[in-house]
Structure 1
Amino acid sequence: MRGQADLSREIPVSSSFAETKNNILSGLTVALALVPEAIAFALVAHVNPLTGLYAAFIMCLITAMLGGRPGMISGATGSMAVVMVALVAQHGVEYLFATVVVLGLLQVTFGLFKFGKFIRMVPHPVMLGFVNGLAIVIFMAQLHHFKQAGADGSLQWLHGSAMFVMLGLVALSMAIIYLLPRLTRAVPSALAAIIIVALLTQVAGIHTRTVGDLASIKGGLPPFHIADVPWNLATLKVVFPYALILSIIGLTESLLTLNLIDDMTETRGQPNRECVAQGIGNVVSGLFSSMGGCAMIGQSMINVNAGATRRLSGIVAGIALLCFILFASGLIERIPLAALVGVMFVVSEKTFEWGSVRVFGKVPRADALVVVTVTVVTVFTDLAIAVVAGVVISALVFAWQHAKQIRVDVRDDKDGRRVYALRGALFFASAAQFAELFTPRDDPADVIIEFRDARVMDHSAIEAIDALAGRYQQLGKRLQLRHLSEDCRELLHRARDMIEVNVMEDPHYHLADDRLG
């Protein structure tokens, strides 16, 4: 991370007219981009499109007001929708609403217990893989807009003039987004692209697929509705596993997106507060007939790239989305999908960390492996699995590298005792190599292990020391430890009932002889 400022003391939303204008216009752009995404993810989860739109409105508004990362946008997401589909197919949509409430409560609990801070431990290569994977997912998610239902009901690629018109409008919208900032930044280029392409198709009478071809977005206020399920232990057994998985996926995506925006804006969000806000948003979503959600990296990138990093942009996006549903459904349904696809293609390109490709060959192979692994797993399976896999690989590489660093310098002191000066960390990965460093049969009767430059890290280290002491004891020889650090000494002291070794009188720490005996 680069230099960061604390967001606990927020800058006022209306600090300047230009900033307020940027936040409002960016919020409107985000709201337009949320519509097709919310509909698409609702269809993935096999629920009514309004269920996804209501989720986008509720999650966006609540997390914008209460969350720990101003500027981040939340809504219905594909990573959660692909898990929900199995639940809906087996038990129905009412069980989905109950699950969303439970997952929200779990997320609030995670936030209150300050589990969000652990996201800071995610290695940088995992972050790169996460970003690159989601960039590819965003790109691939747009490709289904280039398909339509055939005569047999199956999806088929557009062809002929329909495909050329779609590609042309996509290219036009992307060109506007890239070129307009060179002329003016008075209006977000993504919003300008949507408006220009929409007006062009209406004025020129160009026939192309629109938002209305996906589904109608006309509706009323989201209704308050307690899930019509038996609220008993049997229901909890059904919904809890899904709720736990969804809560982890949602928080993983949200907190990694928070980290990414922190890095882009050189500020510091509050992950625990964001966990609580995400949870409250999902609880409310479940009580108002919607599918819940989490942070959306694509819409968040649209928002941040437009210079909107305050709560106002998310609040405007949420309110605007509700207004679309209530009052402007007919107008929004006429927006060409090509314009929105062009916006998301640009988001995908800007999200992908192209620098991670250029550094291949310049960084350790293990880090490159982590980046590629997380990227591939994110694309083909699940975000949470990808991040866990990346963290596990990074941890194993770290352990392997440090296991190779353990070594000893051997000398005999003036009293004829053999002194092994140990260097490095003694833990599960280095325990086997540790045992091979000693030659009990060839050593004199008194042997000392010098721990001045070594650390005892875990239970495996204790067992390795005890096993070594046993080898010396069988030969009638004595093994003693010297110059243990405070934490190593405490670790061995807690295990005194498990092992039989001698800790020498240490003039630095004033240890007692045979304390562990």
Structure 2
Amino acid sequence: MFTDKRFHHYSLSSLPKDLLAGVIVGVIAIPLGMAFAIASGVKPEYGIYTTIVAGILISLFGGSKYQIGGPTGAFIPILFGIVMTYGYENLLIAGFMAGVILLLMGIFKLGSLIKYIPRPVTIGFTTGIAVTIFSGQLASFLGLEGLKKHEEFIRNIQEIFIHLNTTSIYSVLTAVICLVTVILTPKIAPKVPGPLIGLIVSTLVATLFFPTQVATIGTAYGEIPSTLPQIHIPNINMEIIIKLIKPAFIIAMLGGIESLLSAVVADGMTNSKHNSNKELVGQGIANMITPLFGGIPATGAIARTATNIKNGAVSPFSGIIHGVVVLLVLLFFAPYASYIPLASMAPILMVVAWNMSERKVFGHILKTKSTDSLVLVVTFLLTVFVNLTMAVEVGLIMSAILFAKRMSDVMVTKKALPNPDTKHEKVETGMVTDTHDCPQISIFNVEGPLFFGAALTFEETIMKTINYRPKVLLLRMGRVPFIDTTGEANLARIVHHFSKNGIVLISGLNPQPESVLRKTGLYGAIGEGHFFEHTGEAIQYALSQINKNKCLGCKHFAFRECQKLSALGAVEGSRKKLTATF
């Protein structure tokens, strides 16, 4: 462990800083761990087990110096759905499988791929998750009774309206006391953990003044054990793996996104640099071992990581200490947690939902009124009204399609000619008219990536524009940074078509397109001598290949050589007439 770069230059003088940060974050993590577990549909102690085991392992094996791992709000809708559909035992298996996926992603260095998920997708599902979490706490906030839990958002909201008549004034009072305390504590004492103070104050008020009027953790889930459970290895077979692979993959993807996003936030706050692949390895190990202790899936927690940094953490030791602190609290104070009202947990999660909602960024993207806004809204609505799996899938597919559409719009294929009014007679579009165009040489400026989304338009533009079959087709491709196999296939059809009666020349070909053309054999089919670094050289070669007789009397003067060729043609024509006369 001490060969880890994250521990370089560590000294005894750093230990008090890590100790303070670890204790503070550990205290904050206790109510959050229980709240996240309850909201996910499992017993509160499972959230504590996750905080201890995953928190220590992520700090030990992860790739960030400051990352604090544990259960997070982002997982709540997914885990709740899995528990409702497959049961708690299968949740543990799905979490273990997600750990394996994350471990493999780290080993095969796929950490950098996470950053390619579009921001509208991540903001859309994050805001959707926040809405789901917030609405899911309304029943506990109001103290409603007799509700049935559903996986669907709409049905849960209907349940709340149906049972509004069971609202408990005592639960509302308890929840309001906790909420006000959570909001005011950071303003009065910034270093004091608001969620813990809110939990303690509201619990004391409820216990002293109306102890039998509100539901508590003890009445709902029984007493919390004061020890870690024994290691339990779940029964895994191929049938279960096939059944749970989809939820496991979603857990892994969300866990990877959340942990790397948290690590990036930590980098920004400390001017440090995390190792994304090592972070995924750490997350994978944590999520493989945590289910053996009955814990739920875990990831990097942005708010707790930021708190860790603000309180002076200098190494992963603070994360390890945070897990040990939670373990000590479990061992010595677990029985007291049974007195915590469920109404006290609700405001804590509501504040978490409010803070993670990304409402400002959401509004900012909406204001652009672009395709990104559409992806954002669709991802958000699907997250709330369908499920996160569908939201991410549709969001990514929409982003890919709209990106391809935008790239195809960027692609430009237009006829061009030298502009005699510019220095060096620069070849430009907009110079071609009915009276100013070479019948034998067609030049096209091709700009933008020549890929599947733009390749057909590229081919059709050229084929339709030059139906008069010129002798030479010159493609200026200096601004084509990339070509895929679809673009190569369309270019090959153009080359095949023109090679029957003329030649194709290409100038300014970039390394990546050249590599593709060489691999497919199209480079050789066009001919080594038909590729030029500069357009001027290509034009000179093209002029040497045309039929000079067709220049007779031509008034287009597309090139500076045209006037001379036309005049020579006129002289030659006069000479032939005189010869015929005599």
Do both proteins adopt the same fold according to a TM-score greater than 0.5, normalized to the shorter chain? yes
Q: In structure 1, what is the Cα distance between the partners aligned to 2:204 and 2:136?
A: 25
Residue 367 to residue 22, structure 1, CA distance change in 2 (3 Å): same
Q: Displacement, 1:398?
A: 2.3
Query: Superposed, which structure 2 residues align to 1:438-457 within 5 Å?
Result: 438=462, 439-457=465-483
Identity of aligned residues (%): 20
Query: Taking structure 1 as reference, are residues 430 and 499 closer, same or farther at Cα in structure 2, changes over 3 Å only?
Result: farther
> Structure 1 pair 166/177, CA: closer, same or farther in 2 (3 Å)?
same
Q: Which has the larger radius of gyration?
A: 2
Q: For each residue in 1:126-177, what CA deviation from the matched residue of structure 2 results, as whole angstroms up to 9, or x when unmatched?
A: 3322331222232133234245553999996566795322223322222222
TM-superposed CA distance for 1:34, in Å, is 0.9
Aligned to 1:28: 27
After superposition, the C-alpha distances for 1:154-211 in whole angstroms (9 at most, x for unaligned) are: 9965667953222233222222222233322241222222222122223333532222
Equivalences for residues 469-488 of structure 1 within 5 A: 469-473=495-499, 476-488=501-513
Q: 1:421 aligns with which of 445, 451, 459?
A: 445
**SS of residue paired to 1:410:** strand
Residue 79 of structure 1 contacts residue 249 of structure 1 at CA under 8 Å; is this kept in 2? Answer: no
Q: 1:34 to 1:151 in 2, by over 3 A?
A: closer
- Equivalent of residue 139 in structure 1, options 115, 134, 151: 134
Counterpart contact for 2:262–2:300, Cα < 8 Å: no
Of 284, 288, 299, 1:279 maps to 284
Which residues in structure 2 correspond to 1:230-269 (within 5 Å)? Answer: 235-240=237-242, 242-243=244-245, 245-260=247-262, 262-263=264-265, 266-267=268-269, 268-269=273-274
After superposition, residues 216-365 of structure 1 pair within 5 angstroms as 216=222, 217-218=224-225, 220-228=227-235, 235-240=237-242, 242-243=244-245, 245-260=247-262, 262-263=264-265, 266-267=268-269, 268-286=273-291, 288-295=292-299, 300-301=302-303, 304-305=306-307, 307=310, 310=313, 311=316, 314-359=319-364, 362-365=367-370
Closer, same or farther in 2 for the Cα pair 1:30/1:437, shift >3 Å?
same
Aligned to 2:560: none
Quick one: distance in 1 between partners of 2:182 and 2:148? 38
Letter in 2 for 1:250: A
Matched, 1:75 2:82: no
**Aligned position for 1:232:** none
If the length of structure 2 is used for normalisation, what is the TM-score? Answer: 0.73
Which is worse superposed, 457-466 or 80-89? Answer: 80-89
Match in the other structure for 2:566: none
Seen in structure 2, the aligned counterparts of structure 1 residues 96 and 259 have a Cα distance that, compared at 3 Å, is closer
CA contact (8 A) 1:106 1:244 kept: no
Deviations 1:21-50 (A, max 9, x none): 34412311211221132244354xxxx765
Q: CA deviation at 1:347?
A: 1.6
| Corresponding position of 2:197 | 192
TM-aligned CA distance change 1:361 to 1:275, over 3 Å: closer
Q: Does 1:112 align with 2:107?
A: yes
Q: Please say which of residues 62-71 and 18-27 is displaced more in the overlay.
A: 18-27
Of the three residues 445, 454, 470, the one matched with 1:430 is 454
Deviation at 1:249, TM superposition (A): 2.3
Matched, 1:376 2:381: yes
One-letter amino acid of the counterpart of residue 236, structure 1: M
Residue identity opposite 1:104 in structure 2: G
Q: Show the counterpart of 2:182.
A: 177
Which structure 1 segments of 5+ residues have no match? Answer: 1-5, 230-234
SS of match in other structure, 1:81: helix
Contact kept in structure 1, 2:110 and 2:277, CA below 8 Å: yes
> Quick one: distance in 1 between partners of 2:147 and 2:405?
58
Q: Secondary structure at the match of 2:467?
A: helix
1:215 maps to 2:221:
yes
Structure 1 letter corresponding to 2:276: P
User: 1-side partners of 2:263 and 2:241: how far apart?
Assistant: 32
Larger RCO of the pair (alpha carbons < 8 Å, separation 6+): 1
> 1:128: which partner in 2?
123
Q: How many pairs does the alignment contain?
A: 492
| Aligned twin of 1:467 | 493
CA offset digits 1:474-504 (Å, max 9, x no partner): 5x23223222112111110101179943454
Distance (whole Å) between structure 1 residues aligned to residue 413 and residue 467 of structure 2: 19
Q: What TM-score comes out, normalization by structure 1 length?
A: 0.81
Deviation of 1:246 (Å) = 0.9
Unmatched 5+ stretches in structure 2: 151-155, 419-436, 542-582
Aligned equivalents of 1:51 and 1:273: distance in 2? 26
Cα RMSD of the aligned pairs, angstroms, is 3.8
Per-residue CA deviations over 1:427-477 (Å, capped at 9, x if unaligned) read 111112112322332142121112122244201101110122233245x23
Paired with 1:239 and 1:41, the residues of 2 have a C-alpha distance of 22
Could you tell me how far 1:384 is from its partner in structure 2?
4.7
The CA deviation at 1:111 is 0.8
Q: CA deviation at 1:340?
A: 2.1
What are the equivalent positions in structure 2 for 1:490-509 lying under 5 Å apart?
A: 490-496=515-521, 500-502=525-527, 504-506=529-531, 508=533
Distance 1:107 1:182 in 2: 39
Cα 1:209/1:22, change in 2 over 3 Å: farther
| 10 and 400 in structure 1: CA distance in 2 versus 1, 3 angstrom threshold | farther
**Measured at CA, do residues 100 and 110 of structure 1 come closer, stay the same or move farther in structure 2, by a change above 3 Å?**
same
Cα distance change, pair 441–358 in 1 and its aligned pair in 2 (3 A): closer
Q: Matched residue of 1:330: which SS? A: helix
